[in-house]
């Protein structure tokens, strides 16, 4: 089965083509990710209306690249349909292209830019050799999600294909199967002895601890009550005026502080010490807004010169505080639920200290620890495609809608 996947839930426009095999193995034929980071950087966070505009502008081009890389992009061979198609048309079994374009105009009536770019593409290129379309339907930013969902609907309608709706958080977890876990060869073998799995999903929009009993069987153990972990990094970076997205910059400055032996530091008599919110609470919930506020109060006491000197130390302490809480709760959940593996995922899983801290802990317990390669931690359509590959239920395009607050369980 060949799956064409579309991801537009936040600020990356991504298209992937995945080919599954009967033994459960698969290959990623393409995975194109176009980031909008530069567009949102001046605002220090993702602006939903701008995200929608950029997805609309870029999606057709990314789709074309994704299909081309998968060697599935073929120019329409003739203006006239093949004989069998012509017979089906006369018998009224399929719609003519002009009738389909009318439906497409309705599907995309709120995505004018997308419609204008997609139409010439559909006229020029033949239906690619794919079997199904997968698309992120939530959770995410509603205006951004709609661009992906409406393009999936338009393509499914035009190419007579079904759609598999995908939960973005589930896809972050499944990203762990985009590489071999425990060195096993194929996706079925990779699954052996992993469940129940303790899954920590940390991104710009989500922070959740999920117990995974099998594919499709999830229980949310806890989640953030306010900001997501990545959002907290982004807000700290905005406060310190060090750039966007915050996570990678905070991580880099933290490493610098460590090298200079600044963390935890005393500079000009000032010690940077931030709280570890909810680290001792009996539940599996998180809270990062208090950490951000504590950092803000501390920053406000500093003059410009001291702030500049202390910025790497503040980053290091903030990163350590967030990681201490994440690691502590993940360990507690692993023990309570007697799990066989720990799966880290989401954009913040690209953080080196978080990766190594969790790995060190769980290797000690003899558990399988997995984290996707960094390129599959941040948003990408390959993880959407693989999640769809684990599902059997397909839908008509008319049945698909977005769900901004979709829950995994």
Residue with tokens 């589930």: 170
C-alpha distances in Å from residue 344, one per residue of 168, 200, 256, 276, 392: 15, 5, 25, 20, 25
**Angle, CA 372 vertex, CA 143 and CA 194 arms, to 5°:** 110
Residue recorded with tokens 């439906």: 103
CB of 332 to ligand KG4, least distance (A): 22
Segment interacting with Zn ion (CB under 5 A) among 149-157, 175-183, 194-202, 375-383 = 375-383
Residue 367, burial from CB neighbour count under 10 angstroms (0-12, 13-18, 19+): middle
What length does the chain have?
409
- Identify the residue among 379, 383, 390, 397 touching ligand KG4 (CB under 6 A): 379
230: partner contacted, choices Zn ion, ligand KG4, none (Cβ within 5-8 A by kind): ligand KG4
Selected binder of Zn ion within 136, 203, 251, 351 (CB under 5 A): 203
Residue 194: count of CB within 10 angstroms of its CB: 22
Smallest gap from Cβ 371 to Zn ion, in A, equals 14
Q: Of 344, 316, 350, 348, which is closest to residue 330 (Cα–Cα)?
A: 344
16 and 385 Cβ atoms separated by less than 8 Å: yes
If one asks whether residue 13 binds ligand KG4 (CB under 6 A), the answer comes out as no
Q: Is 234 in the site for ligand KG4 (CB under 6 A)?
A: yes
Measured from the CB of residue 110, what is the shortest distance to ligand KG4 in angstroms?
23
Measured from the CB atom, is 230 or 312 closer to ligand KG4?
A: 230
Q: Is 379 in the site for Zn ion (CB under 5 A)?
A: yes
Choose among Zn ion, ligand KG4, none what residue 312 binds, the Cβ cut-off being 5 to 8 Å by kind: none
Q: Which pair of structure tokens corresponds to residue 91?
A: 């018998």
202 assigned ligand-binding residue: yes
Binding to Zn ion by residue 207, rule CB under 5 A?
Answer: no
172 annotated among ligand-binding-site residues: yes
Cα–Cα distance for residue pair 257/259, rounded to 1 Å: 5
What is the DSSP secondary structure assignment for residue 380, as one 8-state letter? -
**DSSP state at residue 215:** T
3 state DSSP class of 368: strand
Pick one of ligand KG4, Zn ion, none as the site partner of residue 198 (Cβ within 5 to 8 A by kind). Answer: none
Among 8, 150, 151, 203, binds ligand KG4 (CB under 6 A): 203
Q: Does 251 bind ligand KG4 (CB under 6 A)?
A: yes
Token pair 């620890």: residue = 369
Q: Which residues bind Zn ion (CB under 5 A)?
A: 203, 379
Annotated binding site for substrate: 201-205, 234, 247, 351
Which residues of this protein are in contact with ligand KG4, per CB under 6 A?
10, 203-205, 230-231, 233-234, 245-248, 251, 346-348, 350-351, 378-379
Annotated binding site for Fe cation: 168, 172, 379
């Amino acid at each position: 089965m060949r799956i064409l996947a579309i991801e537009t839930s936040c600020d990356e426009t991504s298209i992937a083509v995945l080919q599954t095999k009967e033994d459960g193995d698969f290959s990623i034929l393409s995975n194109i990710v176009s980031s909008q980071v530069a567009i949102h950087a001046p605002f220090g966070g993702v602006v939903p209306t701008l995200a929608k505009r950029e997805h609309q502008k870029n999606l057709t081009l990314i789709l074309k690249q994704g299909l081309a890389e998968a060697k599935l992009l073929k120019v329409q061979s003739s203006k006239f349909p093949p004989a069998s198609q012509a017979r089906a048309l006369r018998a009224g079994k399929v719609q003519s292209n002009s009738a389909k374009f009318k439906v497409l105009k309705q599907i995309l009536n709120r995505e004018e830019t997308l419609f204008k770019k997609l139409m010439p593409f559909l006229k020029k290129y033949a239906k690619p050799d794919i079997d199904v379309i997968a698309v992120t339907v939530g959770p995410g930013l509603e205006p951004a999600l709609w661009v992906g969902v409406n393009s999936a609907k338009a393509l499914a309608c035009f190419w007579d294909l079904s759609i598999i709706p995908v939960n973005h958080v589930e896809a972050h977890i499944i990203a762990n199967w985009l590489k071999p876990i425990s060195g096993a060869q194929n996706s079925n073998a990779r699954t052996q002895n992993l469940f129940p799995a303790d899954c920590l999903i940390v991104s710009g929009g989500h922070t959740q601890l999920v117990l995974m009993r099998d594919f499709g069987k999830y229980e949310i153990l806890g989640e953030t009550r306010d900001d997501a972990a990545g959002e907290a990094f982004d807000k700290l970076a905005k406060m310190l005026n060090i750039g966007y997205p915050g996570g990678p910059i905070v991580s880099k400055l933290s490493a610098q502080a460590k090298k200079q032996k600044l963390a935890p530091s005393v500079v000009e008599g000032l010690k940077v010490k931030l709280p570890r919110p909810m680290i001792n609470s009996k539940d599996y919930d998180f809270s990062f807004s208090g950490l951000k506020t504590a950092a803000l109060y501390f920053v406000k006491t500093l003059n410009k010169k001291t702030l500049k000197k202390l910025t790497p130390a503040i980053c290091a302490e903030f990163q350590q505080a967030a990681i201490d809480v994440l690691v502590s709760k993940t360990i507690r959940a692993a023990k309570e639920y007697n799990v066989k593996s720990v799966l880290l995922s989401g954009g913040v899983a690209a953080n080196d200290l978080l990766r190594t801290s969790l790995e060190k802990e769980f290797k000690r317990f003899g558990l399988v620890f997995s984290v996707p390669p960094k390129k599959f931690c941040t948003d990408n359509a390959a993880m959407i495609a693989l999640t769809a590959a684990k599902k059997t239920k397909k839908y008509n395009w008319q049945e698909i809608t977005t769900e901004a607050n979709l829950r995994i369980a």
